[in-house]
Structure 1
């Protein structure tokens, strides 16, 4: 039995039964059977279903958002925005998906070769609690469009969200077996990956979880996409609009209570504007209001659990023991719930491992850089490479950062965020593969080449 806990109160939010071995087998069999039918459906049928799912998300956004807020603590207004973003993703693939799946024909010496995208089968998704709807939809929308079927192993702490996702799909008219929630614990994952009916795996989560899943997928010779941790740099240069940069920096650091892989975690600021930035940034972070996530006036809810708060507080203690200085905040707030205050760390020793860890809470590390070269070096001096944000109005500096910052994504003069239209993913120990955009659709498809005699001898798109 799963019991979810409301991190704002410490009280139980709901209980959910864990699947038996027989129930798991039944869901796998249903997925395989549904795939055989869904893989040959026309694109019009797939897009119509995606539109209906989007309608259901929009119609039920308040209820869905409240489930997420109760289970992992994000503010209700941000949870509503997350559900709305999910609807937008389903609509995007309904509208743009067919063009992404068009055949391409090329001239070859024997005639023509046509590249065709074909579905592969049931895909297992292992997803985290921090964006409990959006992380799942990033996989589910392209999976349905591709003609595959999905099986979700969600985080134990958001089982209400997991159940609501499957219910929403079915309410929109999805065939049984097209998208199924697997209420199981992590010790069941290896056996699922090894099962011949599962053709591929996608995981969003920690570096450690990614290693375990990659090992299991490697043993089974199955495709895997990994979106892991990040310690994203937020670089500010003298030519930047400082007020805009500070406003974005505050939002980027405390959104979702700092529990986002692409939250800006390390502020790397040129020495010429360091003091001015730090003064403005400190004022912005001190103004962040933590409180009841259901309250419209709250800026930041609790962390996802007491355990997560203790992890962050432990990291902060370690940083301070190594010489880092906490300017303010970064403390557990009194009373019920896993609340803590937003804070800023300075003088963090870059040579120590603690400076290279992902800090999954609402505390920013601020570093001083003497020039562009040092800013790039500091940005890259971590094992992660997910996202980055650079603030400069110098075109040459912009190109330098885009070229040399080791990350899967770079935002220029704006806060980094994901969008259904654009590929999302990282390099280094932040994982591999891409979600979203056409590349996310193609990750779990068979690009089949069909060679025929004859043809015009000219390259064309069919």
Structure 2
């Protein structure tokens, strides 16, 4: 009998009044207890806001990203203990890897994105500068800064590690402390993972806290700087979302809840095709992974009417090969549901679906379990139903049996399949197995608004595809309607849920000071040595080099044309060029101008500039003819450290002609040594 502790205001707290028992999903024996109604929730909130928040906000995005990476590596070194503890939740080793390795991998992705896609600063710039005044001295842009409250994460039982880490990664990267409340049924695994993070000593004090058991009245003490992120049932989400304090104080509330996800077999993917075999494999995997206890599992299966019988036969044959039993046994392919109460709920929901559909595979009263007692453990078999008239049915479209239960239903054509998809009233993911581009396009236009993610797969992508049921940190996870209407993950998009977007307005110098990115029109520093001779750390924002001018000759244009093979008529035929509304006659190649610009501002000797890695936002603004002259202005726009040896410098480059009119503009990227 283990005591599963909470971690509040820097202290581990034993279970107390209100503690609940936790039973093994395999044997039904009580193995732990968790919960304490005496937790000082206001003290926890204050600890997060006053200790954890300021410590996190002092760090830059890159600092927090490095912190996430260090935590992920520490967990990866100690994950075996999490595997071993997870068996009593009913999952197999493969299930644990989805949970544990998936959570660690999510943290690593956010660590990488924080370094690559966010600045080494505390302010995130959201979009380009907007010129609000005619002369360019009154500008605006959007920025994002961390909320100054706490994120309360309320997680589901099915992913005790991934469910915690996928929320923590964007929250901590944003600079916001979190209080994690896992589902009690599997919180022993969450607590073990959480304890490892505390033991690592990597996170600042107050960055994370843990509540095993009930939250008490914590939600009643939140305000507009706080966030509640919930994963679980629609019933619980409605209860939490309706909290008067959350409503009155406009507390951000994100919900990921019930979802009758579906998979569609394209009309081009009949028996004998690679797509048909792929479809059978994907459905079987999504029905049985985690014993169907996945928010993304396939609950509804749409099949062209002529292929229903073939699919039932093929899928039944594949399900029959799934060994159910003690998940600690090597040969077990599907373990138990998380608890007896969950088993009762799944059987009740399956019976309700059975009033509109015929069970064609899986008998909950007669199935084999290897190495365990089917009655004492929370075991059920995969159950496959066939609903012959899905248009008239209701339960198959609104009842989620959160286990290995799925229903096959026929469709007539693409429009009918779309209508059936949308009868679920919003899902996290729908998958379409097809090789037909028009079918894919029609599905997006008809069903995209009802689904948070559309997953297409076929013989071309199947070797690399990650699967219908795998939420990836790069992509948005969430869905409209009954799926909760929220979003998680999605790369940097997920970080923004824990930040405030603010519109700032002011002079170019003010915007430069706030965003630490030079804005055109701001003060330039031009009385120093050539910037290409200066190391990364010695360069200042706004440091500018003004080149000499160079006259563009007709001979230059013709030489460039013949040397590169770019003999486009605007460069070679004066009459044809004049007939074009964009050109006054023969003009210089845009890329010739870029080459001349490099010659005008380059410093040829070995120095701190290690490499030119590209250019962004190139625009050609006015034509240049033979006899015109050009010059370049090169300003340090932004600096981003990359490692201990070098950093990226983003230069704002403007090419002007003899009349000081801009003819081209772009951003040059170089790697400069420290």
TM range (shorter): over 0.9
C-alpha contact (below 8 Å) 1:252/1:263 kept by paired residues: yes
Number of the residue aligned with 1:324 = 357
Deviation at 1:66, TM superposition (A): 2.3
- Residue 291 of structure 1 corresponds to 325
Q: Which residue of 1 aligns with 2:414?
A: 372
1:319–1:348: 8 Å Cα contact kept in structure 2? no
Which consecutive aligned stretches of 4+ in structure 1 deviate over 4 angstroms post-superposition?
A: 457-462
Q: Which has the higher contact order (CA 8 A, sep 6+)?
A: 1
SS at match of 1:180: strand
Superposition pairs of residues 116-195 of structure 1, within 5 angstroms = 116-120=143-147, 121-172=149-200, 173-185=202-214, 188=216, 191-195=218-222
SS at 1:358 equivalent: coil
| Structure 1 partner of 2:396 | 355
Q: Is the 8 A contact 1:61 1:80 kept in 2?
A: no
- Flag the 1:17–1:311 CA change in 2: closer, same or farther, 3 A: closer
> Aligned-pair distance for 1:274?
2.0
Indicate conservation of the 8 Å contact 1:330/1:362, yes or no: no
CA displacement at 1:330 relative to structure 2 = 4.3
Query: Over residues 281-303 of structure 1, what are the superposed CA-to-partner deviations in whole Å (9 max), with x where a residue is unaligned?
Result: 11111221111112222111111
Residue 126 of structure 2 is aligned to residue 92 of structure 1: no
Is 1:13–2:61 an aligned residue pair?
no
- 2:284 is aligned with 1:242: no
Superposition pairs for residues 407-418 of structure 1, below 5 Å?
407-413=451-457, 415-416=467-468, 417-418=470-471
Tell me: CA distance 1:100–1:247, structure 2 relative to 1, closer, same or farther (3 Å): same
Aligned to 1:51: 69
Verify the 8 A CA contact 2:299 2:407 in the aligned structure 1: yes
State the match for 2:232 in structure 1.
205
Question: Could you say which residue in structure 2 is the equivalent of 1:80?
Answer: 97
> How far apart in 2 are the matches of 1:410 and 1:432?
16
Does 250-259 or 377-386 show the bigger shift? 377-386
Alpha carbons 1:108, 1:457 under 8 Å: kept: no
Aligned to 1:443: 497
Q: Aligned equivalents of 1:114 and 1:297: distance in 2?
A: 58
Q: CA 1:268–1:457 in 2, change beyond 3 Å: closer, same or farther? A: farther
What whole-Å deviation, never above 9, does each CA across 1:439-461 have from its counterpart, x for those lacking one? 11111211122222145379989
Instruction: Show the counterpart of 1:345.
Output: 385
Asked if 2 retains the 8 angstrom alpha-carbon contact of 1:330 and 1:363, the reply is no
Q: How does 1:290-309 map to 2 (within 5 A)?
A: 290-309=324-343
State the partner residue of 2:444: 402
TM-score, structure 2 length as denominator? 0.65
Checking the alignment, whether the CA contact within 8 Å between 2:106 and 2:165 is kept in structure 1 is yes
Alpha-carbon contact 1:237-1:273 (below 8 Å) kept? no
| Match status 1:2 vs 2:43 | no
2:498 aligned with 1:434, yes or no?
no
Aligned counterpart in structure 2 of residue 108 of structure 1, from 131, 137, 140: 131
Distance 1:453 1:81, change over 3 A: same
Over 3 Å counting, the alpha-carbon distance change for 1:422 and 1:44 in structure 2 is: same
CA contact (8 A) 1:238 1:272 kept: no
TM-fit CA distance, 1:17? 4.6
Q: 1:394 to 1:197 in 2, by over 3 A?
A: closer
Scaled by the length of structure 1, what TM-score is found? 0.93
Q: Is the 8 A contact 1:3 1:14 kept in 2?
A: yes
More helix, by proportion: 1
**Structure 2: which 5+ residue stretches go unaligned?**
1-18, 270-274, 368-373, 458-464, 509-518, 523-615, 618-636, 639-674
- Which residue of structure 2 lines up, in the alignment, with residue 282 of structure 1? 316
State the superposition RMSD in angstroms: 2.2
TM-fit CA distance, 1:198: 6.4
1:350-378 CA-partner distances (Å, limit 9, x unpaired): 33432121121112100011111111111
What SS does the aligned partner of 1:425 have? strand
* 1:236 and 1:390 in contact (8 A); partners too: yes
| Alpha carbons of structure 1 residues 208 and 115: separation in structure 2 relative to 1, 3 Å | same
Equivalent-residue separation in structure 1 for 2:361 and 2:315 (angstroms):
12
Matches within 5 A, 1:251-290: 251-290=285-324
Decide whether the 8 Å contact of 2:222 with 2:251 is kept in 1. Answer: no
In 2, the alpha carbon distance for the partners of 1:355 and 1:155 equals: 27
- Give the unaligned 5+ runs of structure 1: none
CA distance in 2, matches of 1:16, 1:314: 28
Shift of 1:37: 2.1
* Cα shift at 1:176: 2.4
What is the rounded CA distance, in whole Å, between the counterparts of 2:97 and 2:385 in structure 1? 31
* Rounded Cα–Cα distance in structure 1 between residues aligned with 2:85 and 2:103: 15
- Assess if the C-alpha contact under 8 Å between 1:313 and 1:330 holds in 2: no
Q: How far off is 1:158 after superposition?
A: 1.8
The within-5 A match list for 1:20-39 is 20-22=38-40, 24-33=41-50, 34-39=52-57
Name the structure 1 match of 2:58: 40
TM-superposition CA deviations, 1:419-439 (whole Å, max 9, x none)? 111111101111123111221
Give the distance between the partners of 1:69 and 1:348, measured in 2 at CA: 38
CA contact (8 A) 2:224 2:252 kept: no
1:170–1:197 CA distance, 2 compared to 1 (3 A): farther
**For 1:18, what is the secondary structure of its paired residue?**
coil
